[in-house]
A = this chain, B = another copy of it.
Amino acid sequence: MSDSPPSLDPVQLGTYFDLIEVTSLLRHAVEQQLRETGDLSYVQFQLLARLGDSPTGSHRMTDLADGVVYSRSGLTYQAGLLEKAALVVRAPSSDDERSVTVTITDAGRTLLAKVLPGHIEVVRGLLFEPLSHDDVKALASLLAPVRDHMRSAPPRSAAPRRRKGDA
């Protein structure tokens, strides 16, 4: 199948390990803060944040699923939890009766506002404290192409159901 060298060079390997370690620790710390402060999981926070960022406070289920969650049923589950907590409202979309539009409520915005400062403080204290402004810029400029590459080359993850063309 392939005869390329089957290993990463030591720098790559160490970088990969550091990346995994750093984000695991960061994720863990942030999840704890979100749970304590707002009784939110990270996925739930991401959903609320996306809705809060939207000019309308709304998104279709599919758009949310494509960004945050990996399966549709998973999103239905999470949206159900958020709706039960009155942080979100679901309603049939006006233009496409199949779609469901999710909208953040005032309570959702309030909770988001309550949770955000601590969230940011954790991120700053853990991730950014040892980095200068120039370091952050450098990091950003390294991550951007990786992000774009990953977005453009869905390895074979995602594919919640079956996307566009497919054998």
Interface residues of A (CB under 8 A from B): 2, 4, 6-8, 11-12, 14-16, 18-23, 25-29, 32, 70, 116-117, 120-131, 133, 135-140, 142-151, 153, 155-158
Contact of A137 among B8, B11, B19 (CB under 8 A): B11
Contact of A14 among B2, B122, B140 (CB under 8 A): B140
B26 touches A150 (CB 8 A): yes
B29 touches A122 (CB 8 A): no
B155 touches A126 (CB 8 A): yes
A140 touches B70 (CB 8 A): no
Cα–Cα, bound, A68→B78 (Å): 27
For A142, what are the chain B residues with a Cβ–Cβ distance below 8 Å? 131, 135, 138-139, 142
Taking chain A's interface residues, is the majority helix, strand, or loop, or is none over half, making it mixed? helix
A146 touches B127 (CB 8 A): yes
Q: Taking A126-B149, A131-B145 as contacts, is the C-beta distance between A18 and B140 under 8 angstroms?
A: yes
A139 touches B2 (CB 8 A): no
Cα–Cα, bound, A136→B153 (Å): 20
26 contacts between A and B (CB under 8 A): A2-B121, A4-B121, A6-B117, A6-B120, A6-B121, A11-B133, A12-B123, A12-B124, A18-B143, A19-B139, A20-B23, A22-B150, A23-B23, A25-B151, A25-B157, A28-B70, A32-B156, A122-B155, A125-B153, A125-B155, A126-B153, A126-B155, A130-B145, A130-B148, A131-B145, A135-B142
